[in-house]
Structure 1
Amino acid sequence: MSVLPDHEVVIVGAGFSGIGVAIALDRAGFHDFVLLEEGSGVGGAWHWNTYPGVAVDIPSFSYQFSFDRRADWSRTYAPGAELKKYAESCTDKYALRDRIVFETRVTGAVFDEQADVWRLSTEGGVEYTARHVVSATGILTKPKPPAIAGVSSFAGTVMHTARWDHGVDLAGKRVAIIGTGASAVQVIPSIAPEVEHLVVFQRTPIWCLPKPDAPLPSPARIAMKYLPGAKSATRLLSQIFVEATFPIPAHFAGTLPIARLAEPLGRAFLRQQVADPVVREKLTPRYALGCKRPSASNDYLRTFNRGNVALETTTIDSITPRGVRTVDGVDHDVDVLILATGFKVFESGNTPPFPVSGLGGLDLEAWWDDNRYQSYHGVSVPGFPNMFTILGPYGYNGSSYFNLIETQARHILRCLTEARRTSATRVEVTAQANDEYMATMRSRRSNQVFFQGGCDGANSYYFDKHGDVPFRPALTLETIWESATFDLDDYTYQR
C-alpha cells in the first residue's frame, strides 16, 4: 500500500544540477521537495574546487542557466569564485536555501515496493523518504587519489586540487604536482611564480590549445545588460562555438574530422610556446585530439620555460617521506605534494554515487557491471522506478553542462506531471524503451572520435571499465528536442 513520504521529491546534491532541478520543480508547481547536500554550501564543483587559477572551461555566456543570464562576468571564461557567487545568487533568488539540508551525505537508497517510496539513509543516521528521487551529485565530485605507494608516508603537506588548503603558503617552497589534466593546467601557471621550485610529474601529455579568453570591460558588460537582444546574441554565438569545439568533432569525427584538422594548430601552438625542444617533445600528445579531455590555456605551456619549473616524465615508483622517487632511483625532495589526479568518474563508488537497491533488491552498481553502463536519455533505468538522474550514462553530449541540467529537468518534469495527472505512485521506464534508446546510441559510436583508432595511450577517463564512452552522441538541439517530445508511454505509470 502506498504511504505518504516525507517529501514528494528528494534531490541529492545542491550543485548547479540540484539547483536547476529545484527551480524547475518549483516553477511547475512541485513545491514539496528538499535538497540533501554533503558540503557546507551550494555550488557543487564550484564549492569544492577553489585551487589557484580555477575557472570555467567554456565561455561563461553558455555556462549559465538560459533563464538567468548574467551580464556581469569579469572574463569570457569566468573564474571559479564567480561561479560560486552565481550559485549562491540563484539559491537566494529562487528561494531554495530553506529547502537545503547541508552537511548531509546520502549513504544509500532502497526502494520500498510496498509503499512506492524511496528510503534514503544518511551518514548522520537520519532517514528521508520520498516518492521520487533525483540524483544530482554530478560526476567530477569524488577526488581520485593516485595508485602510488607511500602517499600517506610523506612528511610534508599533501593536498588534492579539489580540496585545496588555503592555509598552506607555497611561497619559497619546493612543490611537486602529480598530473597534467584540466585542473593541473590551471594550477601550474598560477603557482609557478611564487614557489622556489616546481616539478611536474606527467604520465600523459594533454592537448592544449589557445584560449580565447579576455577581460570583459565595463562598456561590454553594460551593453549586454541594457542593449536589447545583446544577451541572446552573445549566448547564441557562444553556443555555436561550444558546439563546434566538442559535440560536433567528438560525435561526428568519421564524417567531419574537425579534431584531426585542429591537431596542427595544437602542435603549432606548442612550438610557439615552449622554447626547449626536449621539453616540447615531452609535452607532445601521441593520441588523437578529443580522445582525452583537451584543455585551453594561454599560460600553461609557456610555464615550462621558467627556470624554476621542471617536467618529469619518468614513471613514479613511490612517495617517500621526503618527496617523490621515480623508477630510475632519483629522489625529488619537496615540501608540498599536490595531487592533480582527477576524480572518480564512470567507475564503482561514483556511478552510482551511493548504493541503490531497486525492485526485488536489484543493485544498480551490480546491474551496470553485468549489463554495461546504460540509461534512457541518461535519466532513468528499468527496475529503478521513481529515480531520476541528471548525469546518467548516455545523457551528456559534451556541450554546456547547463544545457544538460535543463534538458534532464524537462524530461523529469514531464514524467512527474504525467504521474500527477494519472495519480500514479510508481513511474518506471520500460525495458523496451531503454533497449531501443541504447541501440541507437551504440549504432552511432563508429562515428565518434573515441572509436576512430587514435586513442591508444590517451589514458582517458572518458572510457569506462567496459571500454565504452557513455557520452550521448547527439547534437545539442537533438537533446533539447527529445527532452520535450519523447513518448510518455516509454514509461509506465502505476497506482
Structure 2
Amino acid sequence: MADFIVPSASKSETDADKRLRGPIHAERHVRVVVVGAGASGLLMAYKLQRHFDNYSVTVYEKNKEVSGTWFENKYPGCACDVPSHNYTWSFEPKLDWSAVYAGSKEIFNYFDSFAEKYHLKQYVKTEHQVSGCYWNKEKGGYDVKVRDLQRGVDITDHCDILINAGGILNNWRWPAIPGLHDYKGTLLHTANWDNNVKLEGKHIGLIGNGSSGIQVLPTIQPIVEKVTTFIREPTWVSPVQGLEQHVFTDKERLEFAQKPGTLTQYRKEVETGLNGQFAIFLKDTKTNNETHDYMEGQMKGKLKNSYLEERLIPEWHVGCRRLTPGVGYLEALGKENVNVVYGEIERITESGCVCDNGQEYPIDVLICATGFDTSFRPRFPVIGPDGTNLQDQWQQDPESYFGIAAANFPNYLIFLGPNCPIGNGPVLSAIECQADYMCKLIDRYQTHNITTFAPRQDAIKDFIAHKDWFMRKTVWADPCRSWYKLRPDGPVTALWPGSTLHYIEALMEVRLEDWEVKYAGNRFAWLGNGYSQTELDDTADWAYYIREQDDDEPLSRGRRRKLLTKSGTMTPIKGINFSGKDSVEKQVQAKI
C-alpha cells in the first residue's frame, strides 16, 4: 500500500478538511431516509444495498406490511392493468404468474418475496408514519418527524438525503357528494376494503367506472342480488389488441420455469409491445386511429346496447384517460341484475343515492370506487431551507424536474413525481431508471464535498415549457376528466412528454448543468491528498489500463446506445398491434 502524507486532524475540521487527508473520491458516510416501503421504496433499499458502501438507510412505512398499494388494495377483482410478467423488476422475473393480469394478492406476494429474498426488511420500520420533514439549517439535511403507530409516540430521525417513495395511488379519498356519511347502510371504499362485509344476496351501489370500479363489477355481479352502478362519464374499456386476458396453463408455467430463454423471450415480446404503443397517445396517428376503431368495435360488440354505447363510448381520443383492459366489465353491464344509472349523483340519503334524474336508488351496500388524491402534493409537510412548504408550492400546478425533484428543496428526491411516465408505457422500467438516477446523485454527493443539490428553477421552467408544447399534440390534452391533470382544461401534470424508452434515455446521464450544487469549502477538495483509490487496494491491478487491444465502451452517446440496445441484431418490427411500432418515427416527425 502507498505511503500517505496525511495532514493532521483538527476538532473543527469540515468535510472538505477531512477530504484533504484522504484519497480522491473518498466515500463519506451517507444517511438516507426513504418514505414508503411500496415497490419504489423497496427498490431504493435494494439499489443502495447492492451498489453502496458506507451508508445507512431507514424506510418508514405506515402499514403493517410492505408492498404499499398492493398491501392496501384488497377489493374484489383487484388486479394490475399491466401484464403481470412485465409488472416485475427487469432483473427479477417471477416464473409462476397465474394469468396475464394477475390479482393483487399475487402482486403483493411478489414484492413481499422480493423484500425477503434480498433481506430488505432489515431497513424497514413498519407502522411508522412520517408526519413532517424539516430542513436543518445548522447541519444540513432533514429532520424527519415520525409517528410510531404501534406505541403511539413521536420520534425524530435525521438524514442527509430524503427520498419520497410514497406513491401516487396511495392516498384514497371519499367522493365529494353531499350526505355521503349520512348513509345508514354499509359504506365501503375500494382502497379501504373490509373483508368482513358479505355482499352475497345484497343490493349493491357502485360509484365510479375508473380502474377499480371496472374490476369490481364483474367480480361481484354473479354473487349479489343486484348492482346499481352509477356512471357519470364515458371511458375507453378494452385491452389493447394482443394483450387480452389469458390464464397460463400448467404447461406454459412449466416452460417458463424450465426451458431456458422462454420466459425472457416472452417478457421481451410483451415489453416491446408496451413500448410500441406510444403512437396511440399522439393525436391522429395511424396507430391512434386504428386503435380507436378496434376499441370502438370491441366495446359495441360487448355492450350490445345502443343506449349504453351512446353514453359509454367517448368522443375524445383513445388514451386521454388511462386505458384499462376491463376484463368482463362491459359484458357485466348487460346482465339482468345490473342497472346502469348514467349521470351525476346529487346527494346521498340514509338509504341510497339521489341522481340528477330526480330518482332515488335505495341500496344495502354502497361501494365508492372513486380513486385517490393524485395532486402530487406531499402528504406531510416538506419544509425547505427558506421555510417554504412543498405542499404550498405544489398547491396549484405541481412542477418538478423530470418527475424526481423540486426546486428549492435540496437533497430531496421523489419517485413518480409530476410529469414522469406513469401512463406512457411500462411503469416499473421507469421506476428503475429513477432509482438509478438517484443513485448517481447520491454517489456524487458521497464522493465529493457537496453539501446540497437541487434542480435549478430556470431548468424546471424550461422543462415545463417544453412539456406543455409537446402535450398539445397528444391525446392527453383532450378535455376529458382524468387524474393525468388536475382539471379537464388544465395542463397535463402526471405524464412525461414522450415514451417510457424516451424517459429512460433522458435519465441515463445526470445533467449537472440543470442542478444547483453547493460545496463545503473549495469545490476541488474531493481531489484529496493526491493518491488514487486504486493505491489503497493492494489486491487491485495498478496498471489496469494496459491492454492488448482497445476494449473500451464507446465514448459517444449514440454508440453507447447502439451497444446497449444491441442495435442491428433484431428483426425489424412491423404491424400496428401488440408487437408493432406502426412506423412511429415517421409519425412522430410528421406530428411534431
Amino acid corresponding to residue 437 of structure 2 in structure 1? H
2:485 maps to what in 1? 463
1:7, distance to aligned residue in structure 2 (A): 7.2
1:222 maps to what in 2? 254
2:545 maps to what in 1? none
Q: Percent identity?
A: 29
Do structure 1's residue 119 and structure 2's residue 143 form an aligned pair?
A: yes
Distance 1:315 1:436, change over 3 A: closer
Do structure 1's residue 249 and structure 2's residue 270 form an aligned pair?
A: no
Kept in 1, the 8 Å contact 2:402–2:419? The answer is yes
Post-superposition CA distance 1:309-348 (Å, at most 9, x none): 00001321211111111233322111100001111102xx
1:6, distance to aligned residue in structure 2 (A): 11
1:418 maps to what in 2? 444
2:68 maps to what in 1? 44
2:421 maps to what in 1? 396
Do structure 1's residue 9 and structure 2's residue 32 form an aligned pair?
A: yes
Instruction: Provide runs of 4+ in structure 1 moved above 4 Å.
Output: none
Post-superposition CA distance 1:367-414 (Å, at most 9, x none): 2347x3221121112210110001111222522221121111011000
- Residue correspondence of structure 1 range 19-418 to structure 2 within 5 A: 19-30=42-53, 31-124=55-148, 125-210=154-239, 212-245=244-277, 247-250=278-281, 252-253=282-283, 256-346=285-375, 350-369=376-395, 372-396=397-421, 398=423, 399-418=425-444
1:427, distance to aligned residue in structure 2 (A): 2.2
SS at match of 1:295: coil
Kept in 2, the 8 Å contact 1:144–1:343? The answer is yes
Q: What is the rounded CA distance, in whole Å, between the counterparts of 1:192 and 1:397 in structure 2?
A: 30
SS at match of 1:105: strand
The counterpart of 1:481, out of the listed 505, 513, 519, is: 505
Q: What is the rounded CA distance, in whole Å, between the counterparts of 1:276 and 1:440 in structure 2?
A: 43
Kept in 1, the 8 Å contact 2:210–2:369? The answer is yes
Residue ranges of structure 2 left out of the alignment (5+ in a row) = 1-11, 16-27, 149-153, 521-592
1:26, distance to aligned residue in structure 2 (A): 0.9
Distance 1:277 1:490, change over 3 A: closer
Larger radius of gyration: 2
Q: What is the rounded CA distance, in whole Å, between the counterparts of 1:340 and 1:357 in structure 2?
A: 33
Kept in 1, the 8 Å contact 2:279–2:288? The answer is no
Post-superposition CA distance 1:64-121 (Å, at most 9, x none): 0011111211111211111000011011111111211111221211111221120122
Distance 1:155 1:469, change over 3 A: same
Aligned length: 483
SS at match of 2:498: coil
280-289 or 40-49: which moved more?
Answer: 280-289
Q: What is the rounded CA distance, in whole Å, between the counterparts of 1:446 and 1:385 in structure 2?
A: 32
Amino acid corresponding to residue 482 of structure 2 in structure 1? S
2:20 maps to what in 1? none
Kept in 1, the 8 Å contact 2:30–2:446? The answer is no
Q: What is the rounded CA distance, in whole Å, between the counterparts of 1:382 and 1:472 in structure 2?
A: 18
Q: What is the rounded CA distance, in whole Å, between the counterparts of 2:409 and 2:29 in structure 1?
A: 19
195-204 or 235-244: which moved more?
Answer: 235-244
Q: What is the rounded CA distance, in whole Å, between the counterparts of 2:59 and 2:142 in structure 1?
A: 15
183-192 or 63-72: which moved more?
Answer: 63-72
- Cα RMSD for the two superposed structures: 2.1
1:423, distance to aligned residue in structure 2 (A): 3.2
The counterpart of 1:427, out of the listed 453, 460, 464, is: 453
Provide the TM-score with structure 2 as the length reference: 0.78
Q: What is the rounded CA distance, in whole Å, between the counterparts of 2:443 and 2:215 in structure 1?
A: 43
Provide the TM-score with structure 1 as the length reference: 0.93
430-439 or 406-415: which moved more?
Answer: 430-439
